[in-house]
Amino acid sequence: MKFRPTAIGYVRSDISGVRQAWDETEVRSAAALRGFDFAKMIVIDGRTGRPLLAGLKATIARIEVEAVFVPSTKHFEGGTVPCDLRQTVDVITVSPENTYTRTGSDGHR
């Protein structure tokens, strides 16, 4: 039985640069303040050429994540939250503080 919803963080190191440690701390703090059980931080370098969201999506499915916390939408391709991500989880940005509510209708909440 889960007592608190599960969240993970997502940070692109190529976007954060020298602020990466700070961004990770802010993501963890935001999740804790909202009452989430923070399970994992996904960090990826966008310069690798690998699919950016593959690991994130696999983790979401594996541990039944309710929300993904990110420093800002800049950490997503094109600076926007991917629609397919919002079908399965809420996406919450730290700065500016915003919640992109899940749009899926699969009953998972």
Domain at 6-100, CATH class: alpha beta
- The overall pTM is greater than 0.95: no
Domain ranges of the chain: 6-100
pLDDT surpassing 60 at residue 19:
yes
What are the tokens at 95? Answer: 């700065």
Residue 13 φ then ψ, to 5°: -65, -30
pLDDT surpassing 80 at residue 109:
no
pLDDT tens for 31-86 read 999 999 999 999 999 888 777 788 899 999 999 999 999 999 999 999 999 999 99
pLDDT surpassing 60 at residue 2:
no
CB-count burial class (<10 Å; 0-12, 13-18, 19+) for 2: exposed
